[in-house]
Amino acid sequence: MATETILMTPAAVQVLAAMLFGIGLTTAVIRRNIFVVLMGVELMLNAVNLSFIGFSRTLAGDASLLGQLAPLFTIAIAAAEACVGLAMVILLVRGKDTIDADAFSAMKE
C-alpha cells in the first residue's frame, strides 16, 4: 500500500479534499434552504477530515497518529454542532414559518 502510485498520490487526495471543501462552501453560500446550507457545512468538515488523514500518510511516527486523532475529535464536535444547529433551525422555523435563509435578513441595508 505504501508505494508510489500513479493516481492515488497524496497530492491527489489533497486536491480531492480541496474540491469537496469548495463544493461544500459553495453550497453553504448559494443555497436558500437552511438544511442544505447545514449539509454544505457538514461536507466542508468531512473534506477537512480527509485532508488530515491524507497528510497523516505523508508523515512518520507520532505525527502520523496525530493526523488520525484530530479527525476523531472533529467528528465529535461536528456532531455536537449539528445537534445545536438543528435545534436553532427548529427555533428559527418556528418563528418565521419558513426555511428560507433569506427571510432572516433583518440587518439594515
Partner 1 sequence: MFPELNTTLANVYFAGLAISALCCAVGVLASRHPLNAAVLLIGAMLALSGIYALLDAPFMAVVQVLVYAGAVMMLVIFVIMVLNRAREDKLPRFDAWSVATAAAPLALTALLALTMAKLPLAPAAGAVRGEPEPIAARMFAMSGEVGGWWLLFVAVGVTLLVAVVGAVLLAKRNLDTPAEEPVKEEAGHGH
Partner 2 sequence: MDSTLLWLIPALPLFGAILNGSLSLAGSKDGYGPPRGIVATFAVLMPAISFALSIAAAARLGGFGGEAAPALRQDLFTWFAGDGLNLSFGLSIDRLSSLMLLFVTGIGTLIHLYSVGYMGEDRGFARFMSYMNLFMTAMIILVMGSSLPVTFLGWEGVGLCSYLLIGFWHKTPEYADAARKAFIYNRVGDLGFLLGAFALFQITGSLDYAAISEWFRTADASALASSHGLITAACILIFLGCAGKSAQIPLQAWLPDAMAGPTPVSALIHAATMVTAGVYLVARLSDAFVCSPEAMAVVFVIGCATAVWGAVAGLVQNDVKKALAYSTVSQLGFMFMAAGCGAFDVALFHVFTHAFFKAALFLSAGAVIHGLHHEQDMRRMGGLRKNLPIAYLAMFYGWWAITGLPFAAGFFSKDLILEHAFAGHVHLGFNIAPLVGAIALVTAGLTAVYMTRVITLVFWSPSRVDPEVKAHIHGTPITMAIPLLVLGVGSLIAGFVWVGLPMGWMGVPENGMAFLANWLSPVVGPAQEVLAKASGVEHGDHNAMAWTVAGLGTLIAAFGSFLGWWIWRKGPKTVPAAGTSTAPTGFGGGWTFGFDTAASWLVVKPIMIVAYGLYWVVELAILGVAGWLVSAGSRALGDGYALALQRSRLRTSLALAMLGLAAAIAALLFAVK
Q: Which residues bind partner 2 (CB under 8 A)?
A: 25, 28-30, 32, 101-102, 104-109
CB nearer to partner 2: pick between 51 and 56: 51
Q: Is there a contact between 98 and 51 (Cβ–Cβ < 8 Å)?
A: no
Q: Which entry of partner 1, partner 2, none binds 70, CB below 5 to 8 A by partner kind?
A: none
Long-range contacts, 68-72 (Cβ 8 Å, 24+):
none
Q: Is there a contact between 36 and 49 (Cβ–Cβ < 8 Å)?
A: no
In angstroms, give the least distance from the CB of 106 to partner 1.
Answer: 19
CB nearer to partner 2: pick between 35 and 104: 104
SS3 100: strand
Place of cell 505523508: 58
Name residues contacting partner 1, limited to 20-79 (CB under 8 A): 20-27, 29-33, 35-36, 38-40, 42-43, 46, 49-50, 53-62, 64-66, 68-69, 71-73, 75-79
The x, y and z cell numbers of residue 51, run together, are 485532508
DSSP state of 107: S
Contact code string over 89-108 relative to partner 1, x by CB under 8 A: xxx-x----xxx--------
